[in-house]
Each structure stands twice: as structure tokens, then as C-alpha cells.
Amino acid sequence: MPDVYRSPLDAANSTIARYVGGSGPGTMFEGANGVTQNTVIDGTSNTIFVGETVGSAIPWTEPIDIPIGSSPTLGGNGFSSFIPDAVPFVFVDGTVQFLPDNIDSSTLHCLFIRNDGFSCPFVALDYVVAPVPEPSSILLLLTGLAGLGFAALRHHARSLARAVAGLLGGRLLGRPASESGRLRHGDEAHGPGGRCRRALMLAMLRE
């Protein structure tokens, strides 16, 4: 079953439909011929299209919906949800409304019927999915400054390593410290001072 049809709480290999329609005369799933939007005379914001069911075991490949009788209720093996005390429904206008489990059956039936000529006042529950908090701008700034500070510290450490290596190399060669930072082919590549200096620089500058 494609992920788009699967409940986020179901296993990856689940093939059970969790979102189905209500079927029967006057509903959006009236029969094999289907219905058109212009037959929703009660208003698209007052007519249920599909809802969630966690109590049924309808295979997603089967053309099966939940029959709507004269006194429908929520819960059990009908329209139900893991959300406490409410079931989410998509209405024909595309909005999602959370209907309380204890909604009056006559009101619920009215919402399923698209063309009985009645408006169906109902009270939906407020249910907000909390967004995942994004990192604050201050945190991002501090992270960036920490990265810059680390880069600067690494640069200064390398400079210090060069200076120390140059100083030690100059002393081993018997030269003044002012001349120890200059690299010359004749005494850097040969002799004990040059080898020692190169070894120090390589050891201190190694990644």
C-alpha cells in the first residue's frame, strides 16, 4: 500500500484502509455511478466526504466503505480514531473537522447526507497539531560564532607551531632567533638542526 494511504501509526507493511467514506443513499458514496459536486445542495462545508477509522479491517484495495444508517454513531468498528474523544473528517470543501465522539446521531446523519435540504449546525472540537520547533536565530548565531572561533583558534595554533618550530630550529643551528624563521635550502634540508626543525613543524602542524 502506498504510504500516502497509510496511517502514520500503522506498520510499514500495513494494507488496512484507515480513511474511508460513508456509503448509502444521499451520501457522497451513493453507488457505482458516483456523484458530482453540483449535487451537494446542502453545502460543501456541511457535507462529510471521508473520515478516519481505526476499528475496521477494510483492505485498502477493496471498494468498501462504512454504511450510514439512520442513526450513525462514532467509535467501535465504524468511524473512529486514536485521537481521544474525537474523529477527524474531511468535508467536501476540503476542510478537516474533528467531530466529538458523543455527537448526536441525527446531526451526524445529516452531515453525511448531501441533498436532503437541511443545514446541519454542529460544533467541532479544536485540535491543533503542535509544530516541531525550529532552532532559534540566537542558537544559529551562536553556532556560527563557535565555528568561526574554532577556525580562528586553529589558525593561531598553526602560527604558534611555526614560530616555536622556527625558534627551536634556529637555536639548534646556532643562529639568532631573528633569523630562525627563514628557510634556506642549505641548512634546512641538511644537518641536525634542519632535520629537527622540519620534524617539529610536521609534528605540530599535522591534522
53: left (phi over 0), alpha (psi -120 to 50) or beta: beta
For residue 164, pLDDT beyond 70: no
Determine the average pLDDT of the residues in 55-64: 87
Same domain, 94 and 148: no
In a domain, 127, yes or no: no
Question: Quick check: 43 and 49 in contact, CB under 8 A?
Answer: no
**Structure confidence at residue 132 as a pLDDT band (50, 70, 90):** very low
**Structure confidence at residue 48 as a pLDDT band (50, 70, 90):** very high
Same domain, 104 and 141: no
**Structure confidence at residue 29 as a pLDDT band (50, 70, 90):** very high
For residue 63, pLDDT beyond 80: yes
Domain count, the chain: 2
Instruction: Domain of residue 143: give its range.
Output: 137-205
Per-residue pLDDT at 185: 45
Same domain, 108 and 148: no
Per-residue pLDDT at 139: 52
Q: What is the DSSP string of 55-118?
A: S---BTTS---EE--SS--SSTTSS--SSTTEEEEEETTS-EEEEETT--HHHHHHHH-SSSS-
Same domain, 7 and 106: yes
What are phi and psi for residue 60, nearest 5 degrees? Answer: -70, -20
In a domain, 119, yes or no: no
Same domain, 164 and 200: yes
